[in-house]
Amino acid sequence: MKNVTALGAPLRIGNTYTAPNNVFCAPLAGYTDFAFRKLCYAFGAGLCFTEMVSARGLLYNNEATRRLLYKDPSEPQTAAQLFGGDPDVLRAACESEDLAPFAVVDLNMGCPVPKVFRNGEGSALLADFPRAAKIVSACKKSGKAVTVKFRIGLDAEHIVAADFAKLCEDAGADMITVHGRTRDRMYAGEPDYAAIAAAKNAVRIPVVANGGVFTRADALAMLEKTGADGVMLARAAMYDPHAFAEVLGGGGDWDRRAALEGQIADMLPFYGERFTLVQVRKLAAFYLRGARGGARWRARLLACPSLEELRALFDEIFGGGAEDLTSVP
């Protein structure tokens, strides 16, 4: 494919923002809070997204929903991801004070979770073109840059990537992210490069490709096969936030202990000890993926009842137990 976009090139989103590079971190429910995003930015992510946030939850002033949008004052520009099915509610969310710190709003039209789907939200919108168009158009009236993340279809018999991409552009979207799997495949299997390429060929706005990108080789192949303008890392970021540095051409390993201590320091004042403990336990378990003895360490991590005991276990893992570790691929 001619004129393949360079990995690491800046990416313009509408008239309001240019990401410093085109390797993005996906919105990950339960993971992409401000402390995790800070780590991804430190390793070079061009743009991170908040966790998926309910527009209706914001309308009803749900405190747990609002906390998902917390943005540290030192954090670079970040995109807020919203989900919902009512154009007016989504526009109101875009115009709310909660969204004031965000220049870019991403609309989730790809979530495959049954509860979301049954409510006519997320990937359900792939089967409701008129309502999807109204949502994009309504949110554009907020003055924000609007992006849309969606899957290529509900199943193999209903691939709509190109048509849905054109719908988003015509309704005013400034960028789209295409997850190269259908809803019924969830996160399994090879992404459909041809469907992503069809979406890219259908529009003039930037297209970011998502699905199956774990390494620099994966990212280069994705750009080559699809013609996309950028790539988005999801599970790769959870397993190894340093993946951003590797995809962008950096080398070496990273200090997992220092990263975890940094996340504790960031999260503790905002979330309190219990939430911080639970979050850091699962992150540490992911960061040990691929290590010798990893299953043993993970079982002990997830059983730690306090931050004090968790840090003591870190001493074993990264100190006396360091000889059992290998670099995560």
Q: What's the pLDDT tens digit per position in 70-109?
A: 999 889 899 999 999 999 999 999 999 999 999 999 999 9
**Is 94 a residue of the active site?**
no
Nearest partner of 209 among 165, 157, 248, judged by Cα? 165
pLDDT number for residue 258: 93
Q: How many domains does the chain have?
A: 2
Kindly state the average pLDDT of the residues 212-223: 96
CA angle, 143 then 146 then 149, to 5°: 165
Q: CA 192, CA 211: separation in Å to the nearest integer? A: 9
Q: Are residues 239 and 109 in the same domain?
A: yes
Share of the chain above pLDDT 70, in %: 96
pLDDT number for residue 117: 93
Q: Is 108 helix (H, G, I), strand (E, B) or coil?
A: strand
Q: Is the per-residue pLDDT at 253 higher than 90?
A: no
Neighbouring CB atoms inside 10 A of 98's CB total 18
In terms of residue numbers, what domain contains 87?
11-247
Would you place residue 290 in the very low, low, confident or very high pLDDT band (cuts 50, 70, 90)? confident
Q: CA 221, CA 200: separation in Å to the nearest integer? A: 15
Which of the following is catalytic: 40, 48, 111, 304? 111
Q: Is the per-residue pLDDT at 180 higher than 80?
A: yes
Q: CA 198, CA 187: separation in Å to the nearest integer? A: 20
Q: Is 227 helix (H, G, I), strand (E, B) or coil?
A: coil
pLDDT number for residue 297: 87
Q: Is the per-residue pLDDT at 324 higher than 80?
A: no
Neighbouring CB atoms inside 10 A of 99's CB total 20
pLDDT number for residue 322: 39
Q: Is the per-residue pLDDT at 1 higher than 60?
A: no
Residue 1 lies in a domain: no
Q: Are residues 123 and 264 in the same domain?
A: no
pLDDT digits (tens, 9 = 90+) for 158-175: 999 999 999 999 999 999
pLDDT digits (tens, 9 = 90+) for 39-50: 999 999 999 999
Q: What is the CATH number of the domain that holds 273?
A: 1.10.1200
Residue 268 lies in a domain: yes
pLDDT digits (tens, 9 = 90+) for 189-210: 889 999 999 999 999 999 999 9
Q: Is the per-residue pLDDT at 325 higher than 60?
A: no
Nearest partner of 77 among 107, 53, 45, judged by Cα? 45
Q: Are residues 218 and 292 in the same domain?
A: no
Task: Tell me if 90 sits within 8 A of 107, measured CB to CB.
Answer: yes
Q: What is the CATH number of the domain that holds 90?
A: 3.20.20.70
DSSP state of 153: B
Kindly state the average pLDDT of the residues 144-160: 95
Residue 4 lies in a domain: no
Does pTM top 0.85 for this prediction?
yes
pLDDT number for residue 328: 34
Q: Is 18 helix (H, G, I), strand (E, B) or coil?
A: strand
CB burial of residue 59 (10 Å; 0-12, 13-18, 19+):
middle
pLDDT number for residue 2: 57
